[in-house]
Structure 1
Amino acid sequence: MKWFEIGLVVLTFATGIVWLLDKLFFAKRRAASGGLLDDEPVVVDYSRAFFPVLAVVLVLRSFVAEPYKIPSSSMMPNLLIGDFILVNKFAYGLRLPVNNHKFVALGEPARGDVVVFKPPHDPEQNWIKRVVGLPGDRIGFHGDTLYINGEAVEYQPIGRYTGTGRGAEMTGATLLTERLPGREHQVLEWIDRANPSGQGEWTVPAGQYFVMGDNRDNSEDSRFWTRTHFLPEENLRGRAFLIWLNCEGWFCKGSFDPSRIGTSIK
């Protein structure tokens, strides 16, 4: 993803510079010498054709919405393997492409937001998790129960979960509604687990967040990060808000669920 972003920026600026230099200098010289449009160099022709398209794509991806594909089961049952999602790139401020530097502050993550970010221990990748801890919060996780500032989060059992496609391995997990303060969503947990992992308590520092996957027993999230358990604000990429396609395999050769198209991410 990073190399695609770098390539897009380089191509946009390169074609823009070629087109601008030709318009300011070389086109006038060709016209003055009686040159025709057919005399235009191929590189200028291609630059004039592709620059507007590349510029629009760059602006949309960098400052409006960017597409991602869900590669793992860590956010089931809300996001499935093969979901194609859109991420709001201005929800938490405008950031420059490639280096992700924020130059306009517009908002901050709310508890319960599903966010795409660069994990602090592997900044070349993009991950997706849910924000459960805000700066200053005391987060605890004990026996599959989340605690926020000493208060246990309320859970409402729904029943057994039935997975599909590559997510079929989660069939039999317990499906619950988790009621975060001011926000509720569904989560999965395994039943009869003898040795639960990811237990502990953490206090979220200023300017950082605590994130967890909705598939609580199958997610590498803040509970397990060894160097730091927290997500720095500057690593945020945006807020996930829409599923626009669900398709596994190349050219949708595999499971395809049209019912997920247009589903909002809660």
Structure 2
Amino acid sequence: MKNWVRANKGFLLFLMLFGIFRTAVADWNPIPSASMHPNLLEGDVVFVNRLAYNVKVPLTDIVISPTGEPQRGDIVTFSSPVNGTRLIKRVIALPGDRVEMRNEQLIINGQPAGYSTIGQTTESIKGIGDIAAVRVDESLGQRSHAIQFLPQVKARRDFDAIVVPPGQYMMLGDNRDNSEDSRYIGLVPRALLIGRAERVLASADITGNWMPRTERFGMSLYPKQ
């Protein structure tokens, strides 16, 4: 064993440095579910900037130093405060924000979010089949993004006003009626943030024919406003 380690020490050093790079600097995140439709699809692989918010001790959630502040509208990977599962959602409310939801409409600091219809499509739900989906553009201050509603699905479409405590964030999925987010798992502490998702690196239709979706390669997750 010692001889094998000695003979392959360069390769082992590479693996160690690569692991540190992935856990401390930059990473990629496969998208396994529909919770971020229509912006992220199953089979997308997104680039995650791990230095966007914090420098952490590799392989831990121990923050060495903050590097930036999450902004409303950022797409963020984080560890679930319930079970540690890695999730990807959108930042909706920041520390100090007063936020509530009434019949799917967000109200942040007394200002209702703006909504304009993009169009209709269908969504395939396991165990249910194809159902109607409505896509709208949601405006939160100066930023806007597409989201999706599933009117036929039972979902949590209302919650009472809360004030987000210091150091915590509200995360929601863009596929509002098919997302396990802060409505179910609670607010997310800053220490559990992994990084900011920046763009789609590659994509394949894993729910269909497994063909590459080359039109999504390199696609930014933040279209110019």
Q: TM-score, normalised by structure 2?
A: 0.88
Pairing of 1:100-115 with structure 2 (within 5 A): 100-115=61-76
- Name the CA shift for 1:184/1:151 in 2 (closer, same or farther; >3 Å): same
Aligned 8 A contact 1:198 1:223 in 2: no
Amino acid at match of 2:213: D
Secondary structure of 1:61's aligned partner: helix
Which residue number in structure 2 is paired with residue 141 of structure 1?
A: 101
State the distance in 2 between where 1:57 and 1:243 align.
21
- Residue in structure 1 matched with residue 171 of structure 2 by the alignment: 211
Aligned residue in 1 for 2:79:
118
Cα gap change, 1:249/1:160 in structure 2, threshold over 3 Å: closer, same or farther? closer
Question: TM-score normalized by structure 1?
Answer: 0.75
Return the structure number with greater strand share: 2
Match of 1:15 in 2: none
SS at match of 2:132: coil
- Quick check: 1:239 aligned with 2:188? no
Query: Which residue in the other structure is 1:80 paired with?
Result: 41
Per-residue deviation, 1:162:
4.9
Q: Distance in 1 between matches of 2:142 and 2:130?
A: 28
Look up the match of 1:181.
141
> How many Å apart are 1:56 and its aligned residue?
3.4
Distance 2:162 2:93 in 1: 9
In structure 2, the residue corresponding to 1:259 is in which secondary structure? helix
Structure exhibiting the larger radius of gyration computed from Cα positions: 1
Deviation at 1:253, TM superposition (A): 5.7
Task: Decide whether aligned partners of structure 1 residues 196 and 218 sit closer, same or farther in structure 2, where only a CA change above 3 A counts.
Answer: closer
Question: How far does residue 59 in structure 1 lie from its aligned partner after superposition?
Answer: 3.4
User: Alignment partner of 1:76: what SS?
Assistant: coil
User: Partners of 1:62 and 1:54 in 2: how far apart?
Assistant: 12
Rounded to whole Å, the distance in 2 between the matches of 1:99 and 1:119 is: 14
1:254 aligns with 2:210: yes
Between 1:58-67 and 1:147-156, the stretch displaced more is 58-67
Q: Answer whether contact 2:27 2:50 (CA < 8 A) is retained.
A: yes
How much has 1:217 moved relative to structure 2?
A: 0.7
Q: Which residue of 1 aligns with 2:117?
A: 157
Q: State yes or no: 1:172 paired with 2:129.
A: no
Amino acid at match of 1:254: W
Find the partner of 1:197 among 129, 138, 156: 156
| 3-state SS of 1:223 partner | helix
Percent of counterpart pairs with the same letter? 35
Pick which of 94-103 and 58-67 moved more: 58-67
2:29 match: secondary structure: strand
1:163 & 1:246 partners in 2: Cα distance? Answer: 19
Letter of the structure 1 residue corresponding to residue 7 of structure 2: D
What does the per-residue CA deviation read over 1:133-159, in whole Å, with 9 as the maximum and x for residues that have no partner? 000111111111111012110011111
CA-CA distance at 1:98 after TM superposition: 2.1
- Name 2:26's counterpart in structure 1: 65
Structure 2: stretches of 5+ with no match in the other structure: none
Measure the CA separation in 1 of the matches of 2:28 and 2:158. 33
Q: Is the 8 A contact 2:123 2:133 kept in 1?
A: no
CA contact (8 A) 1:131 1:212 kept: yes
Contiguous gaps of at least 5 residues in structure 1: 1-17, 19-40
For 1:192 and 1:70, how far apart are their aligned partners in 2?
24
Relative contact order, higher structure (CA 8 A, sep 6+)? 2
**What residue in structure 1 maps to residue 219 of structure 2?**
263
Structure with the higher helix share, 1 or 2: 1
